[in-house]
Chain A
């Protein structure tokens, strides 16, 4: 007897240690690899923004309608992802709830000790968050459905009426709190009744009435057709992100699928009574008390380690993480880190957005004219004004909005910001931009409204209150250097230009303020990319406006190329081209002319000159620079 007890304790202990170890690994993985902070920064830009606002009104609004409570809770938890350590803890605790709920249900179904299988939903949660979407609502709803199911099975009494009444009370409560997750509860309850307990009448009643209620509340009263209601009830079902949708569906279906298998198994082997978790196991343990735990535990742990590693490795989406990181660095104005981050990217990942953010970072570190041709360049990258309605639309609006503000094209920034607000919701990134736009435009009353929204934000309320206080004393924020700078570059003459007219927009900004350095360097960069050497040369007199001590290298290279092609000497208006630039150019010219075939020359010179403008100019449009 003592031996048996010791064995049981020992087994419990080893399982607990394994569980603890698993969730410690889970926590570290989420904290250090996924980095919840990146998910937070992607809200409204890449991931759907979970609305949350402090205060009684928002609480009352959400708690007064179905599915509102889960939106409130998951919104609150999502905002805490801002602190990576806390975010990881929240995801770990939610996963613990899912794990223990699954384990409990499978035990109640008579599956014996199935702790390894119970980790599968947790691994699915890991896979979902590895895709950098915000699935907090999905996970919280699912955890709720599991634990309400456990409660329902625990409350089960033999009196069928009481059981049915208890079920419907819980069902309606869960429907009000978590919407579609109540359907999981319904399915679990039906499977338990029909397959596990073999109470077909109760199961039939629950199935019929539960489905009818679910249809009435979820479909008939809330949406005009079934498809619309499914989108409302199961917010994770989004045709735009099928992979996330499949993973979430697997999560929701896992426990019902297990119960179905257990039920079928029981029917096949004619086990008529509800299995009690101790019966079979304890019998076998009694027979051989020393044999039980170690090999099974070791095998289970090994399987678990393999599953965790495989799921962590294969479901990880580095591309999405890189984009989230880029957004994060851009928002925090960590320009040097941004350049370093983009430099490390695999070339196949590099796209228009990276190009855009890279050029912005290069400009802010004074390297745009110096180093931009070390990277692939696209003339559309500057303002991202191409009209298209693809997946990147929300992302593009957001990034372009920030750039328009910096350039001084405040009205177009406002347009982008409003479009983004409509598409992505009232997230703090865009609200902060709205505040800045309206302060710069001397519309403090509008700025104050956005600040009041932000003052209810869980994370940024202090910032908002600070700015509100400043506005109380100075409506123009006339001592704020950023505001003053933006006012100085802000366009004051109307032109009705669209956001894809890069050259005209930049030129127009320079007409408005000839000292708008960002507009100037962007225009020069645009001219370089489009090969307009004449425009580079024509702008030489303006170099004096920006106080260049030495000309940026790419400008020097463009001037040398122009001189070489047109056989003219250009007036540098007091500037000098650095000797090393001249030597390098002459070397390039000499070696280039020694080749008969242009492409052969390009391939041979690529290693040494690929970061030079004249290399770009000479081979643009070929396979070397597509």
Chain B
């Protein structure tokens, strides 16, 4: 009896070892299968896309019913990846994935999916063909995670995600800063060494955090939408007197209007806030500043307004408010501004032009247009447009969806864009990436990968303001929170405009950003 038991154990060990070896060598073989002409249904939709060679594994779920799943991932060089799974969730081993992508830059990445049905028959779906780009995407991305906010919030945080892995780290959490509202994180030239974050707190008032390396300091006024000059010497920002209102009917409940706005700039070295008359025109709203990569031009949005009753929210004719795209020249050496010009008129486009961003190579201008107003995320008709700055011709991108697509940023090598879209479920914004080639062709976007392929199915927070950065942010969230608590802000004199915020105290229940 003992001998028999011993033999059985030995056989079992050999079988297990053989199975393990066969799996490890990627030699899982299916003797018979039916080849189907249809493409497999996978989620997220990682099909026919161009992917960065340094991206984390694109884990996915197979939507076809089955009892067993076999996935083979292969390219021209390197060892194939094979995953045999009893569940439809396909988790790709990170190390093999990285090796495969690195060895096959510019090549096609193919995915074969086999599904075993309940009667034991295998079917092979049409091979998925993706392409591995030659150019990396920036290794990190900073974004804000919030719930769809109405009048109140209790948990807002800005986080950084390593795109080469799945790790996410807190940059600053509102809860560790007395439930402050934190927003408008910005970086010069995708550089994580310098960062600005706007703070609005009932206790600590409005301020801005300036992080340089692993140190942080506070500036005694809050920056709105901010753009760093490429030199890193000044940061231009908007002052927005924002008001939120609610629609009693329709798909989107929330609406936002700037009752007033202006643009200022902060000199990092001199610790001074300045503005020019052209940025504070009384009957115009100026917002969304963005520098050209050479630092010679500032682009921004501007709209004429004439509210009758200033107390009425929303103001009359707010739905007719359309922003022009402006441009103004600047000389960093002399601190001299030129005359602003309308770069692209809302009259011409028939739409409100918002969120201009110039690619780091200076070739393209990416912007959002929606029917009216200044807050594209609340407009399902918001779409991304690309202008070739050589020819000044612009076009609507094919990658748009029938939900809001906006809040975009370029990678430091200009080959990737990150943007926010509500296309997955209609309500929660997710971060998508698209490859953009040298001629301005933008390729099918894909959602930021997560370890759990079903992550987005039940994640009830929105990703907002995705900003690609070249590496991790060094300053700790504890240092940033301590800076807020310290109240030792750099005192600055803010030019008085109708949009200038109160230094202390605000009404978070009506204001919104």
Please report A residues at the B interface, Cβ cutoff 8 Å.
57, 221, 223-225, 228, 387, 389, 409, 411-412, 414-415, 418-419, 421-423, 426, 438, 441, 443, 445-446, 448-450, 452-453, 456, 490-498, 505, 508, 512
Contact = CB atoms under 8 A, between A and B. Distances in A.
Interface in B398-431: 424-428
Given A411-B250, A495-B249, 9 more contacts: A225-B481, A389-B509, A411-B249, A422-B155, A449-B458, A452-B454, A493-B248, A494-B250, A505-B248
B251 interface: yes
B189 to A, nearest CB: 29
Contacts of A412: 246, 248, 253
Point out which of B153, B155, B457, B477 has the most chain A C-beta atoms below 10 A from its C-beta: B457
B317 to A, nearest CB: 13
Nearest to A229: B176
Interface size class of B (residues with CB under 8 A): 35 or more
Nearest to B153: A422
A415 B425 contact: no
Given A57-B452, A423-B152, A493-B249, A449 B509 contact: no
B249 A453 contact: no
Interface in B444-476: 452, 454-455, 457-458, 460
B485 interface: yes
Point out which of B154, B458, B477, B481 has the most chain A C-beta atoms below 10 A from its C-beta: B458
7 contacts: A409-B248, A411-B250, A441-B251, A443-B251, A446-B427, A452-B454, A452-B457
Interface in B232-262: 245-251, 253-255
A449 B428 contact: yes
A588 B189 CA distance: 82
Contact of A421 (B147, B176, B481): B147
Contacts of A389: 509
Given A228-B176, A418-B147, A452 B249 contact: no
A445 B425 contact: yes
A224 B481 CA distance: 6
B461 to A, nearest CB: 10
B150 A419 contact: yes
A386 B478 CA distance: 37
Contact of B478 (A224, A387, A496, A508): A224
Interface string B478-494: 10011001000000000
Interface of B: 147-155, 176-177, 245-251, 253-255, 313-314, 424-428, 452, 454-455, 457-458, 460, 477-478, 481-482, 485, 509
Given A448-B425, A449-B428, A492-B249, A423 B154 contact: yes
Point out which of A418, A490, A493, A505 has the most chain B C-beta atoms below 10 A from its C-beta: A418
Given A412-B246, A426-B460, A452-B457, A419 B152 contact: yes
Contacts of A409: 248
Main secondary structure of the interface of B (DSSP, over half): loop
Given A223-B176, A387-B509, A443-B426, A415 B155 contact: no
A418 B250 contact: no
B428 to A, nearest CB: 7
Contacts of A225: 481-482, 485
A18 B248 CA distance: 63
Contacts of A512: 249
A496 B314 contact: yes
B249 A224 contact: no
Contact of A224 (B177, B314, B452): B177
A617 B203 CA distance: 46
A441 B482 CA distance: 44
A494 B147 contact: no
A491 B248 contact: yes
Nearest to A57: B452
A438 B245 CA distance: 20
B423 to A, nearest CB: 9
Given A224-B481, A422-B149, A443 B248 contact: no
A508 B176 CA distance: 43
A414 B425 contact: no
A423 B155 CA distance: 9
A412 B152 CA distance: 14
Nearest to A508: B248
A512 B247 CA distance: 14
A441 B254 CA distance: 15
Given A224-B481, A445-B426, A418 B458 contact: no
